[in-house]
Amino acid sequence: MTTWRILALSAGTFITSTIASHAGPCSQEIDSIQARADARLAANAAAGPSVPESPGAKLHRQPTPGSIAAAQDQLDEVSAGASQMIRAAMARARLADEAGDLAACRQALAEVEAAIGR
């Protein structure tokens, strides 16, 4: 009976030790940058929308519905574009990590860092 317990414990230890070996070469970097990207995007969302002042606003003119809509469209394009770029680069990093391509993974993560402003 003791032999079966030792065998079962040994098999369990072997199986759990191989789980960690499935991680890619930059899995930890991906997790770290993903957390930073999530925090940055959450902070930007919490800060609220912001677009640079137009020249007309600096002349003490009241905004028109059209100028407000144009500013909102510009803001939506910028935030959506950055968010899509970050998601695409993180997806490329994960694919490269799964393939074991450390250089491609780090390149994709560098793009994410540039987008979130290190």
Per-residue pLDDT tens for 36-50?
A: 888 887 776 677 666
Confidence of residue 30 (pLDDT cuts 50, 70, 90): very high
pLDDT score of 19: 47
Q: What b/e sequence results for 79-111 when a residue is b if at least 16 CB atoms lie within 10 Å of its CB, and e otherwise?
A: eeeeeeebeebbebbbebbeeebeebbbebbeb
Task: Give the CA-trace dihedral at 60, 47, 79, 107, to 10 degrees.
Answer: 130
Which residue matches tokens 């079966």?
A: 4
Q: pLDDT higher for 89 or 72? A: 89
Local confidence band at 96 (pLDDT 50, 70, 90 cut-offs): very high
pLDDT of 98 strictly over 50:
yes
